[in-house]
Amino acid sequence: MFTWYVGLLAVSGLAMIIMATIDNGRGQLSRGLNTVFGIAFLGYAGYLWFVFDGGDYLIFFHAFILPVLLIIDFVRSTNWQALTTKPTPTQQAFRAYWKEQDRLAKRSARRM
Q: What is the pTM of this model?
A: 0.63
Contact between 60 and 44 (Cβ < 8 Å): no
67 occurs within a structural domain: yes
76 occurs within a structural domain: yes
101 occurs within a structural domain: no
56 occurs within a structural domain: yes
26 occurs within a structural domain: yes
Q: How far apart are CA 70 and CA 77, in angstroms?
A: 11
Cβ-based neighbour number of residue 20 at 10 Å: 21
36 against 86, higher pLDDT:
36
58 occurs within a structural domain: yes
Using the Cα atoms of residue 14, residue 17, residue 19 and residue 21 in order, give the sign of their dihedral.
Answer: negative
Domain around 82: 2-86
109 occurs within a structural domain: no
Task: Tell me the residue type at 73.
Answer: D
User: Can you give the pLDDT at residue 97?
Assistant: 94
Q: State the total domains in the chain.
A: 1
Q: Is the pLDDT of residue 39 over 90?
A: yes
Residue 59 CA, distance from chain mean position: 26
